[in-house]
Amino acid sequence: MDSIEAVFRISGHAPLARADSILLEQTVETPRAVAERNAYVREYLMGRVARVEPHPDDGYLATLELPVETAATDAAQFLNVLFGNSSLHRDVQLEDFRLPATICRLFPGPRFGIEGIRRILAADARPLTCSALKPVGLTTVEIGRICRAFAEGGIDLIKDDHYLANQAFAPFDERVRTCQDVVEDVAARTGHRAAYVPNLSGTPDAVRRQAESAMERGVAAVMVAPMLLGMPLLHELCTKVIDVPVLAHPSFAGALRIKESTLLGKLFRLYGADAVIFANYGGRFGSSPEVCRDVADTLRSEWLGIRPAFPVPAGGMDASRAPELVRFFGRDTILLVGGSLLEAGDELREATERFSESVRVAARALRNDQP
Amino acid sequence: MDSIEAVFRISGHAPLARADSILLEQTVETPRAVAERNAYVREYLMGRVARVEPHPDDGYLATLELPVETAATDAAQFLNVLFGNSSLHRDVQLEDFRLPATICRLFPGPRFGIEGIRRILAADARPLTCSALKPVGLTTVEIGRICRAFAEGGIDLIKDDHYLANQAFAPFDERVRTCQDVVEDVAARTGHRAAYVPNLSGTPDAVRRQAESAMERGVAAVMVAPMLLGMPLLHELCTKVIDVPVLAHPSFAGALRIKESTLLGKLFRLYGADAVIFANYGGRFGSSPEVCRDVADTLRSEWLGIRPAFPVPAGGMDASRAPELVRFFGRDTILLVGGSLLEAGDELREATERFSESVRVAARALRNDQP
């Protein structure tokens, strides 16, 4: 029978026994003797410790085979079998997982992914740029003004700050109408078609209403924070509600002991995100270049026919780092720069133009370097 | 203006600067100079570092005042402002938070809580008992048989194993019908009214359908895992869909860089859970008695008029520990014992009776000890 392979990093003195107890926790969650009384459970649902090997740095990697039968019923249950109770063990980290092709049918994966986003933005093989409408607290008119400077300055994706919800000072529908008008107006006048990306927030009903209202208004993409909203809602939005690309924000995602590339690179992608924001190295979050490379590579890797998704490095990026970041992440990337552009104040459009141009120049150098 | 007080545990050498940068992250997420350009933002949305003090063990506690204006729009945004991006900083843990009374109106809190669950179960001031239908993989008929032994043995709450979803071997509707029939039949014959508590799992639409179907069938309570489903869905279920008590399961909640009592004791309760399962000391999860006491006390504490919720210690509890656990947690507790009872096999009803009786005896001793 097909299995999900889950790789856990464990510490401790008795890794084989530890792996075995995690296997029980993630499968039948009863004493082994109780579970084995039933023939079907014994035969098909107990899983297996495939191997336990030392981790290069510290501790051990335990690879467990978990039964698809218990996991594959729904989007919440999949997470539950993958890392539900074991997340409560302080010495266990979900390192990676591998899926049998059969289970992929249950998941949307990116419906657009890198290729679809490029098509919608009419952007050929170059890094894309992104900025954020912030700070929270501005009125809709003030937000619209920043949006215009970004669009005129050549930004590809103009996203809401993730603190923008449906506050009284810039209500969702009014903000979407204003910003979408701005990007359409700039496109008509200059030919540069920026995508305005509203942030969806609230309970499932509210998020669904916001998504429908924003798509009706013609937005080219939307943003959600899957760990705030719940991963199953991302799944439902991508399979039933949203027919534009989805940009995933990592807010609240740090609360779990899941390796970055596994949570942001595989799970977010599997559940339907077309582009995933993550904390870049050299910014506010102290990520390392290795972790960032790992997240980006994972999002773009070949994986069971699931479309690749855009990595979106972010988090206190200085616009002047564009050449370095283009070299580091390559062309299939979206560079998200916010505060660093906004510091330009009245010169926002000009600073944005310089940033956009520096990305184009760096992308050309990239192409010339490559065969 | 009203503020949310968030207490973060931080490490590092420059705690004042660190507190200041976390404040920026959780409020305007732009360089201070950019945010302060706007009078409204500067005046109302920048928050404040209230104090930074050494933590008794290690590091520092930073208390920040965060603006209600940005947080109070919806159930996802509240989490976002409380610990969204800062969860990505590896050196930051959410330790505690305090709410102004005004914001409580946005949250359901337990609709039943300790008193409501006692009323529904007709259980006076004694500890309640709970067990789980497991392992996953049993047919509906086999599950029904265990349910009957638990009900006849005097268990108060008989919950689905959290790995039971809508699998083919025991489909949700069939399972609910069977188990609810069993507890009603046992109640009619013996007078002991156990509550069957089905586990709801899936995307928001599926969970809503399951909740409605289970309530139609007459179940006395339901179980959800808020971190698997998403906290905003818990909020929506409690405010719009579910009119029976909600038992919260901690799956996927782990490792949290949120202090246990804050996530399980305050957030789950605030969002509407009436009873919260947590990893007990002396079981599989290596929790300490101090942490368990803290979670239980927090769930039951006076808090802005929000109803107290039942603590449900669980996770590899041996039934023989009932007297100790009753002494430790007192009468406002639900003792959840699963595998330890199931080990009795054909003697399940008798083992369950002994467990139920030992809780009653321990509870009487408790009352006699108290004035």
Chain B hits for A203, Cβ within 8 Å = 74-76, 232-233, 235-236, 239
User: Pairing relation of β-strands B48-54 and B60-67?
Assistant: antiparallel
Q: B254–A86: do the CB atoms touch at under 8 Å?
A: yes
pLDDT digits (tens, 9 = 90+) for B216-251: 999 999 988 888 898 899 889 988 999 998 887 877
**A38 pLDDT higher than 80:** yes
- Angle CA(A216)–CA(A144)–CA(B74) in degrees, nearest 5? 65
- Copy the structure tokens of residue A56: 């290069």
Can you say how many angstroms the Cα of residue B189 is from the centroid of all Cα atoms in its chain?
A: 33
> Could you give the ipTM of this predicted complex?
0.79
Query: Taking CA atoms, what residue in A is nearest to B338?
Result: A30
In this prediction, residue B64 carries a pLDDT of: 96
| B 171-200 → A contacts, CB under 8 A | none
Minimal Cβ distance to B250: which of A28, A88, A255: A88
- Burial of A176 (C-beta count, 10 Å sphere; 0-12/13-18/19+): buried
Which SS3 state, helix, strand or coil, does residue B48 take?
Answer: strand
- Concatenating the DSSP letter of every residue in B91-145 gives TEEEEEEE--HHHHTT----SSHHHHHHHHHT--SS-EEEEEE-STT--HHHHHH
In this prediction, residue A115 carries a pLDDT of: 85
- Burial of A18 (C-beta count, 10 Å sphere; 0-12/13-18/19+): buried
Is the model more confident about A337 or about B20? B20
* Nearest residue to B74 via CA among A205, A233, A256, A160: A205
- Is the minimum CB–CB distance between B283 and chain A shorter than 8 Å? no
Query: pTM of the full predicted structure?
Result: 0.83
pLDDT digits (tens, 9 = 90+) for A51-109: 999 988 889 999 999 998 888 888 888 888 888 888 777 788 888 888 888 887 787 77
To the nearest 10 degrees (0 to 180), the angle between helices B140-152 and B348-369 is 40
The amino acid that residue A369 corresponds to is D
Can you say how many angstroms the Cα of residue B136 is from the centroid of all Cα atoms in its chain?
A: 22
Range B146-167 average pLDDT: 87
SS3 content of chain B, % helix, strand, coil (to 5): 50, 20, 35
**A200 pLDDT higher than 60:** yes
Can you say how many angstroms the Cα of residue B25 is from the centroid of all Cα atoms in its chain?
A: 28
Tally C-beta pairs within 8 A across A and B: 311
Chain B hits for A162, Cβ within 8 Å = 29, 80, 84-85
Mean pLDDT of chain A: 86
Q: In what order do the strands lie in the sheet with A246-248?
A: A222-224, A246-248, A275-279, A310-314
Intra-chain end-to-end CA distance of chain B, in Å:
44
In this prediction, residue B363 carries a pLDDT of: 86
**B362 pLDDT higher than 70:** yes
Distance from CA of A117 to the nearest CA of B (A): 25
In this prediction, residue A203 carries a pLDDT of: 92
pLDDT digits (tens, 9 = 90+) for B251-310: 777 655 567 787 777 777 777 667 777 778 987 666 789 989 998 999 888 877 778 878
**A255 pLDDT higher than 60:** no
Minimal Cβ distance to A252: which of B79, B90, B285: B79
Range A118-126 average pLDDT: 86
Virtual CA dihedral for B137, B141, B147, B151, nearest 10 degrees? -170
In this prediction, residue A371 carries a pLDDT of: 41
